[in-house]
Every structure is written in structure tokens, then in C-alpha cells.
Amino acid sequence: MAYKNPNKNKDRFPWMGQRFNGNKKERKCFATKKDALLWEAERPTEPAEQKTLTVCLLDWATEYLRHAEQNFTGKTFDEKRIAFRQLFACPGINPKESANRLTALQVQKALQRQSVSRSGNAANKDRKNLSAAWSWGVKFLDLPIDNPFSKVEKFASERVERYVPTLDDFWKIFHIIEDDQDKLMLYCYLQTGARRDELFRLTWADVDFFRKRIRLSWRKNKVGEWRSQWLSVKDDLVEWLLRHRKKSCDIKEHVFIREQKLSYQYRQHWLKRLCKKAGVKPFGFHGIRHLFASILAAQNVPLVEIQYMLRHTSLATTQRYIHRLKKENREVLAALPGLKDSETKSTSKVHHQALGV
């Protein structure tokens, strides 16, 4: 209801109108009572609805993959990139649609399709990577806390046991290799239990000839943090590396190089071709890593020593074994076969027992 203005500006605006906008009281001065009444009769202008900025699925994928490329290994990044590619290839999933509208049912259908066309293992791997990507989006892109990927149950999958070669088969392919560097690389895998990429990135700065040890670096945790560890190696490997070192003059250069002094990236079919040529069951780099562990176990090397040599460490494990970094640990090396052992006609009985042959 309009009323006379009691304020100091009453001479100029003698009338005042008032109205309620929700719980808020509004007042305004007018020159005439009519204007005040008309203003009171008007419906208060509702504030414009704030537009909620939503991220589309493609933007979410792009931002997360940018993060993954900087913080994870190339292999892990490829896994995540493929997971998004498979998701967006599914009918009913529109990359340009708001991520807020993605439902667990859509995810279920998409992953179910992968479990049929590829495998349950492949679908579960995509589920894991996409769930991690969504959790990242919750933190940094304000995606809904409700994770549609984590709601989907894991799919039935067949666990294929990794094939571990016998030591005899290892020596068979070892002896048919003609290139000295390739032969050294294969022997280095047996003596260190290294992951494939750990030897690919090995430089001469990582080889300590005086203390007879090498430094392996890896990145196998959630934050993509680089870690490294020095490992003692056998004398014959040190001598072989020293001979190989004389062919290189740059300490920053990789120990194992290909054309134009570039480091290796994959060598995807190298071992497969060697196995076929030697007439043995195919195995890969990781199979040699398992062989390394089996040999140590067969020689009754304590489990904690094997974990240390394989560098399988959680935070608690790291704290537990941190003092071991200063130990040479050369007793463990005695369990590993040397070059002289490769010249015998048969593998020792204890190695056969370890590998179940």
C-alpha cells in the first residue's frame, strides 16, 4: 500500500511504494501516488535463473586424458584413451551430451557390449579406467558425486595364467641371437627381473661399474611418480656391460639403442620371432621377470628379498625395506644362473622343480 514518504527527499518524491519479492521487502519513491500504486501492482521481476555450466562427455574425456598423458606411463595412457574411444563408439552414448545426464544404465549397456565383442577382462579394464576418470572429474570438473561406472558390477572373465618359460627355453633363444647388444639385453632381463621399459630407458649414468650395480626407474603408482632403485648384479654382467660401454662415449646415451642412437620403445615381436626360430613356446619380457622370481624362490631366497629385487613396494613395504638400499645384497645374486650355466646341456634340477617341469 502506497504511503507518504517520511524521508528527507519527500519534497521531490512525496509518495513511497512497497512490495514483497519473495521474503524480501522492496521500497521505492515516486512523485505521485498513482505511480507508487502501479509499481506495487507490478509482478516483481524474478531474477534470471543462473545457468549451470555443465561439462559434456567429450570435454571430460579431453581434460582427463590431458592429465593422464602428463602423469602416467605411455601404456596406461593408451589404456585410458582406448577406454574412452570404446565408450563413445557405443550406440546411445553421445560425446557432446552433458556428463550430468550419463546414467548407470547407459554405462551398463556400453560395457556389456564390450564384454561380448571383446572380453570380460577388456570390459572390466575399461570400467576401472572410466571410473577413475569420473572420480577425477568429480574433483576438478564438478561432475556428479554419484559415479555411474562404479555402480556397474564387474563382468565374468577368464583368468589366463601367465606362461613362465623354462630356463632351458630361455637359453635356447639366447644362443641363437647373433647381435651382441640383443644378447646382452636378454641376459640383463634374466639377471635383474626388470620390467620391459626399465631396460629400454636405462642409460650409462644408471650403471655403476665400481660398485657393480645398475639403477632401474619406473612409474607404477596412482600419481605417476617416478621411482628408482639400485640393484647389485653379477660380475659377468658387469664385464659384458663394460665391453658394450666402450662402443659409446656419451654418458647420457641409452645402454640399448637402435637406429640413429634412439632408445627402444616396444620391440613387440622380437621375442616372439626368437621363440619361433628356436622352436619353443612363445613368451614375453614379463615371462622372464616371472622366471627370475621362480629361480630365486627355488634357491630358497627369502620372500622379502625377492620382493626387494622385483621392486614390488607399497608405502609400508618401502618403509620396511628402506635400510636395504645401502646393502650390496650380493648373496642373493648367487642364486641366479650365470653365462657358464648356459653352456651346460640341461638346467639344474632345482630350477626344473621351481618351474614345475
Placement of cell 570400467 in the chain: 127
Per DSSP, the three-state class of 20 is strand
Cell numbers at residue 313, please? 613396494
**145: in domain:** no
Confidence band of 31 (pLDDT split at 50, 70, 90): confident
| Residue 330 scores a pLDDT above 80 | no
Of 5-9, 120-124, 301-305, the range with the lowest mean pLDDT is 5-9
Q: Between 85 and 322, whose confidence is greater? A: 85
326 pLDDT higher than 80: no
pLDDT at residue 9 above 60?
yes
Residue 317 and residue 184 share a domain: yes
Range in 68-77, 305-314, 318-327 the model is least confident about? 318-327
**120 and 219 belong to one structural domain:** no
Q: What residues contact 127, with CB distance under 8 A and at least 6 apart? A: 111, 149, 152, 154, 155
Do 62 and 37 share a structural domain?
no
Q: How much is the average pLDDT of 89-109?
A: 94
Residue 160 lies in a domain: no
Query: Per mean pLDDT, which of 5-9, 124-128, 227-231, 300-304 is the most reliable?
Result: 124-128
- Distance in angstroms (rounded) separating the CA atoms of residues 191 and 338: 8
Q: Which residue has the higher pLDDT, 1 or 302?
A: 302
> pLDDT tens-digit profile of 210-255?
999 999 998 766 666 788 999 999 999 999 999 999 886 666 789 9
pLDDT at 181 over 90: yes
Q: Are 173 and 242 in a shared domain?
A: yes
- Please give the mean pLDDT across all residues of the chain: 82
CATH number of domain containing 95: 1.10.150
Q: Which of the listed residues 122, 140, 158 is the one where a domain comes to its end? A: 140
Q: Are residues 348 and 300 in the same domain?
A: yes
Last residue of a domain, one of 102, 121, 140: 140
Domain check: are 290 and 321 in the same one?
Answer: yes
Residue-level pLDDT at 72? 85
Structural domain count of the chain: 3
Does residue 229 lie in a domain region? Answer: yes
Question: Which whole number is the average pLDDT over 101-112?
Answer: 95
For residue 202, the model assigns a pLDDT of 94
pLDDT higher at 5 or 135: 135
Q: Are 2 and 16 within 8 A, CB to CB?
A: yes
215 vs 45, 106, 211, 255, CA distance in Å?
71, 47, 11, 12
**Is residue 101 assigned to a domain?**
yes
Question: Are 179 and 120 contained in the same domain?
Answer: no
Has residue 119 been placed in a domain? yes
Are residues 71 and 35 located together in one domain of the fold? no
DSSP string, 50-102: PPPP--BHHHHHHHHHHHHHHHS-HHHHHHHHHHHHHHHTSTT--TTSBGGG-
Split at pLDDT 50, 70, 90, the class of 305 is confident
* Domain span at 26: 3-41
pLDDT at 320: 35
> Both 82 and 118 in a single domain?
yes
Does one domain contain both 62 and 36? no
The residue that leads in pLDDT, 37 or 350, is: 37
Clarify whether residues 33 and 100 are in a common domain.
Answer: no
**The three cell numbers locating residue 97:** 551430451
Residues 18 and 134 in one domain: no
**Across residues 182-197, what is the average pLDDT?**
94
Q: Percent of the chain, pLDDT > 90?
A: 49
What average pLDDT does range 51-59 have in this prediction? 79
Position 161 in a domain: no
**pLDDT for position 329:** 52
Which has more confidence, 49 or 238? 238
Residue 149 forms part of a structural domain: no
Q: Confirm whether 157 is domain-assigned.
A: no
Predicted confidence at residue 110, as pLDDT, reads 95
Distance set, CA 309 to CA 221, 231, 329, 340 (Å): 18, 7, 10, 22
CATH code, 290: 1.10.443.10
